[in-house]
Amino acid sequence: MLMNVKNEIISVLGGLLKEIAKNHVEFSVEMPKNEGFGDYASNIALVLFKDKGLMVNNKFKTSMDLAKVVSDKLNTSSLIPNLCSRIEVVKPGFINFYLSKSYLFSQLEQILEKKEKSGSKNENLNKKVVVEYSSPNIAKPFTIGHLRSTIIGNAIANLLQANGWKVFRDNHLGDWGTQFGKQIYAIKTWGNEEIIEQSKNPVKELVALYIKFHEDAEKNPELEEKAREWFKKLENGDLEARRLWKKCVGWSLKEFQIIYKKLGVNFTENNGLGYGEAFFEDKMKDVLRELNDKKLLKKSDGAELIFFQNNIFPPLMITKKDGTTLYATRDLATDKFRLEKYGKDVLIINEVGAEQSLYFNQLFEAEKMLGWIKDGQRIHVKHGLYKFKDERMSTRKGNAIWLEDVLQEAVKRAEKFGSEKKEIAEKVGIGALKWNDLKRSSNLDIVFDWDEILNMQGDSGPYIQYAFARIQSVLTKVKNQNAKVKITNLNFKLNDEEISLLRALNKFPEAVEQAGEKFAPSILCNYLFDLTGKFNLFYQKHKIIESEQKNFRLMLTQAVGEIIGNGLALLGISAPENM
């Protein structure tokens, strides 16, 4: 397993703090933008000198004096023989760390010997997390808007697993709620079950009926009441309502599974289906009973709500005046189930749109009031919306872009880009789509533009994939010559590009750890883009197979390929061996 050098330096500095500081001090260890300033730099001396009262001995006249003392202590620590070739002090008091050649070589060998473990930690059963992502609504289209939660959530789950978490992947399908009253009414009034059943895309038939309902409801508001009546029947177990609801679920799941397969996304819970809202139909009564027992429900116009202390949030409605339930009722039942199933300390993450921020604040606060969770145990990872330049996408308005259409267009563009084989075109096209989403901060909105979301040049998925394929081509040539990549004598001078690549390879575990801790796949994307750029420069400037340092450069090339392949896999992006 590759060492996380940054954590090792922080640990050694933390030990030194006990000697020179009265209390714990928050300091940083970062990677300098200019590689000439070393592999890592710490501001520990600057932080200590800023408040001399923190130090046991405050005789230092400048921060440089303090930094030199810290540096001297570091030079007698285990860092020098194990990791660093030297440690230097630069104005105004930064301490720079330069990794040794022998250490970088040892990391290179680790990558080649333990390919499957590069950047990963062993699973820790005490660290359990439920990651809820995708969660599309039954009988509604799987649109471009659902892509973000699906691929961001999947990448976060992969990153947490690589960081040692036991990950439960859940798909909280929207298969319950008032919308089914609307859908059932529409089917009964205007639909033809036989036509829907025989359709290649039954969900599109259902969506057309859903849109018609809303168009007619604008002219005749009484239809909304009809829909509520049908949902009430559904909750009460009406046979006809249940029959049509099951039909809608079956038609939808069939289409969803096709999309998940194309995206390479899967779930672990409930036999891979995920626990949809309907699963908790018979579990809501226990939540309502507990809310009542703890006197957390108050009546208002016939509805039941949770009111928050000091009105920090608006009241959260739990049941409507007709007694029917809402998202909040089902979500409370869902989290109660999770805490009982996976353990009271399990971390629960919802990868859901940023527009739901207020709702999740209300939900998390309600769970604290119930005494279920501690601070930080419930996390809402927010993503921005895909939207048009002048308006928001909406299923009920009929202006949403179907994800299936986007995936087909992605493959077509990949074929034009040069990926002739259908299988490779799918990997390249879908890779482009995923990368262009994952490379940016997830909380930002994305204006839908075909050329942008399917970009295949520059900072793009195909750019990274092509580097991986190029590496496989080099290694295949060696195999065809019956030669092997092997550990070789490493006592020779490295050029700048080789040193830069070795340094970059060393930082893969840090990128994986930071991306997981911050729930930010973009951090790993940035790392892979930087690594790929460094490799391409090395490839352009230096021969590999015909070099005097052939074995070493093949080792370096293979290691870069391993890291790129591992990194893309964590992002949920395929790495084709030829393009």
3-state secondary structure of 365: helix
- The pLDDT score that the predictor gives to residue 115 is 60
CB 335, CB 367: distance < 8 Å:
yes
CB 272, CB 284: distance < 8 Å:
no
Q: Say which residue the tokens 């990549």 belong to.
A: 485
Distance of CA 443 to the CA centre of its chain: 12
Amino acid making up residue 162 = A
546 contacts: CB under 8 Å, gap ≥ 6? none
Distance of CA 325 to the CA centre of its chain: 31
- The pLDDT score that the predictor gives to residue 483 is 63
Q: Sheet of 165-170: strands edge to edge?
A: 165-170, 124-132, 347-353, 378-383
Cβ-based neighbour number of residue 450 at 10 Å:
12
| DSSP alpha helix (H) spans, 294-356 | 327-342
DSSP state of 21: B
Dist. CA 221–CA 415, nearest whole Å? 49
- Output the six-digit token pair for 560: 């870069």
- The pLDDT score that the predictor gives to residue 399 is 59
Q: Where are the beta strands (DSSP E) in 432-475?
A: 446-447
- The pLDDT score that the predictor gives to residue 116 is 52
List the chain pLDDT tens, one digit each, 579 residues. 677 889 899 999 988 888 887 777 889 999 898 888 899 999 999 988 887 777 767 777 889 998 998 999 898 888 778 899 999 999 999 999 999 988 999 899 889 887 655 666 777 878 999 999 999 999 887 888 889 999 999 999 999 999 999 999 999 999 988 889 999 999 999 999 999 988 888 998 998 999 999 999 999 999 999 999 999 999 899 999 999 999 999 999 988 999 999 999 999 999 999 999 999 989 999 999 999 999 999 999 999 999 999 999 999 999 998 888 899 999 999 999 999 999 999 999 999 999 999 999 999 999 999 999 999 999 999 999 887 665 555 555 555 688 888 888 888 888 876 666 888 999 999 999 999 999 999 998 888 777 877 787 889 999 999 999 999 999 999 887 766 666 666 677 899 999 999 999 999 999 999 999 999 999 999 999 999 999 999 999 999 998 888 889 999 999 999 999 999 999 999 999 988
Residue 37 CB burial class (10 angstroms; 0-12, 13-18, ≥19): middle
Segment (H or E) for 476: helix 461-480
Dist. CA 136–CA 143, nearest whole Å? 9
CB 331, CB 366: distance < 8 Å:
no
CB 70, CB 79: distance < 8 Å:
no
- The pLDDT score that the predictor gives to residue 337 is 98
- Output the six-digit token pair for 411: 């493959």
- N-term to C-term CA, the chain: 30
Dist. CA 325–CA 253, nearest whole Å? 23
Which candidate, 430, 441, 462, 455, places its Cα nearest to that of 522?
A: 441
Which candidate, 175, 255, 176, 181, places its Cα nearest to that of 214?
A: 181
- The pLDDT score that the predictor gives to residue 216 is 94
- The pLDDT score that the predictor gives to residue 113 is 83
- The pLDDT score that the predictor gives to residue 118 is 60
Buried residues in 538-567 as b, exposed as e (16+ CB within 10 A): bbeeeebeeeebbbbbbbbbbbbbbbbbbb
- The pLDDT score that the predictor gives to residue 18 is 82
Buried residues in 64-102 as b, exposed as e (16+ CB within 10 A): bebbbbbbebbeebebeeebbeebebeeebbbbbbbbbe
Dist. CA 410–CA 429, nearest whole Å? 4
Residue 169 CB burial class (10 angstroms; 0-12, 13-18, ≥19): buried
DSSP state of 391: S
CB 280, CB 292: distance < 8 Å:
no
Show the CA angle centred on residue 249, arms to residues 248 and 252, nearest 5°.
85
